Amino acid sequence: MDSEEKQNTEILIEDIIEGCAKIKTAGKVFYNPVQEFNRDLSILVLRVFSKYFIAEKNSSKRVKGPTSYSDSENFINLPEKGIRLENGISILEALSATGLRSIRYGKEISGIKQIIANDISLKAVEDIKRNIENNNISNIVIPNHDDATMLMYKHRKENRFDVIDLDPYGCPSIFLDSAVQAITDGGLLLVTATDMAVLAGNSPETCYTKYGSISLRIKCCHEMAVRILLQCIESHANRYSRYIVPLLSISADFYVRVFVRVYTGAHKCKFTTSKLSNVYHCTGCDSFTLQPLGILKNQGENTNPIKFGLPAVPSVPQKCEHCSGTQHMGGPIWSAPLHSLDFVQKLLENMSNDLGTFRRIEGILRVISEELNDVPLYYALEKLSGTLHVETPPMLSIRSAVLNAGYRVSYTHMNKTSIKTDAPAKIVWDIMRSWVEEHPINTKRLIGENPATRILSIKPEIKHNFNFHTLANPESRKTGLLRFQENPQPHWGPGTRNTAMIGEAKISKSKRNQGKRKREASEENKAKTDH
């Protein structure tokens, strides 16, 4: 063991200040500073949710399902932060580690009755106790030593939690069965998944075993990851006659994070099949088509009740209609809205600069408020251009062409070159064909059979208009908000399980791991050659 490795195995003790909390980490306790944005956003969501939920609990009318958040009368004023409220919300942080998140919740959110900071590690619980005492928050935050799933199973019948926060290392699916039972009706479930390689299509078979869905290697893989996680939560909830309503769903840095309310209603669960879809993806041109698992009949007609049916199949030909490429099927994914736009607007109205990452939060929420919430998945401009070997057009020109053709278009917070639109794939490719006609490409690139030659062999049905449309430039872009975050620091990422993510030890270990597999493969090949 060299001196550097020996130094990294020694116990680290370091003060960490984040928000209103100051904690000490000692030994192998997991802390990742990059996740400050995650914690700040969660605090903002809980500040707004607590006002609504407590008003809901105090109401004489029993709320049986989601209602609008735009009515200010549904919100109440709460006492100062850090003061215990007897009829406030109860929170479980199932995997607490240092206790930082729970301490920040207790000190920065009003209307809390109790927070359980749980961890299965005795060493972590000792650190949690010490940090709670040092932050003078023992009146609200209670340390607890238990297996997270067993703790939630104990609360599935009585003393359910109003809020459950699951932020595990990797996949959260093992905690979902107990979580959807242990949360009160209308309660808020916060779930993080950091195994993005699995969710983004690198291992479809592993994704199915963990989430019950096939992931695809597709340009919009980040949104697909969010939708796979949502369908997984819905699947667990449905087993107990419960269903979810997403308030906010994001993809940021190296993880996805969803905030969903959980309700009870056997009849409402019947609508789940119409909220889920399989995805057909062309490996040649990256086009996609959604096939819902179920359809609703007589929807919106007062004279007849809604009937549930099955869609006709197949919805796509075996070969892609645009480029004759091979199609793969993934899913099912959540194809209903990802956010409650009323709730997102409330978050923006309650934005506060006491959160360290509030500028990034504001930028992302502004983009989300402009997203087409009823349109699943998106195209990436560089992928469309790369398929046709054409120089990438200006984003505003393509957005203008979509709008001039009579369709809607937006960005998504998940990709800065995203084109989220309700225009059919045929129209999207027609727009790209029109662009190629105005900006001819080198004919040497069109030799042989490939997606570009097949797509460009068809003439556009109409000549699309690329003149600037007033709605092509969204407000979030005009005002210069921080919409798409760059890497926050060198060697960042989800880190390593059970390793202190602080100081020089994290950076030096990250440097050692850079290109580790390539080095190992090179050494193995060299050994074989020498042998």
Q: pLDDT tens digits for 172-197? A: 999 999 999 999 999 999 999 999 99
The pLDDT assigned to 72 comes to: 55
DSSP state of 459: P
Supply the pLDDT for residue 10.
Answer: 40
What is the C-alpha to C-alpha distance for residues 348 and 467, in angstroms, rounded to an integer? Answer: 33
Contacts of residue 277, defined as CB under 8 A and 6 or more positions apart, other chains included, come to: 290, 291, 292, 293, 331, 332, 333, 335, 376
Residue 521 DSSP SS3: helix
Give the pLDDT confidence of 282-334 residue by residue, as tens digits.
999 999 999 999 999 876 656 568 899 999 887 789 899 999 999 999 999 99
Per the DSSP assignment, residues forming a β-bridge with 420 are 410
What are the chain's domains?
Answer: 33-77+147-267+338-369 (3.40.50.150), 378-478 (3.30.56.70)
- Strands of 409-412's sheet in order across: 379-380, 415-421, 409-412
Instruction: State which amino acid sits at residue 385.
Output: S
Do residues 31 and 100 make contact, with C-beta atoms less than 8 angstroms apart?
yes
> Tell me, what's the pLDDT at 528?
59
Residue-wise pLDDT for 13-69, tens only, equals 568 889 999 988 765 555 677 789 999 999 999 999 999 999 888 775 555 666 677
How high does pLDDT run on average in the chain?
A: 87
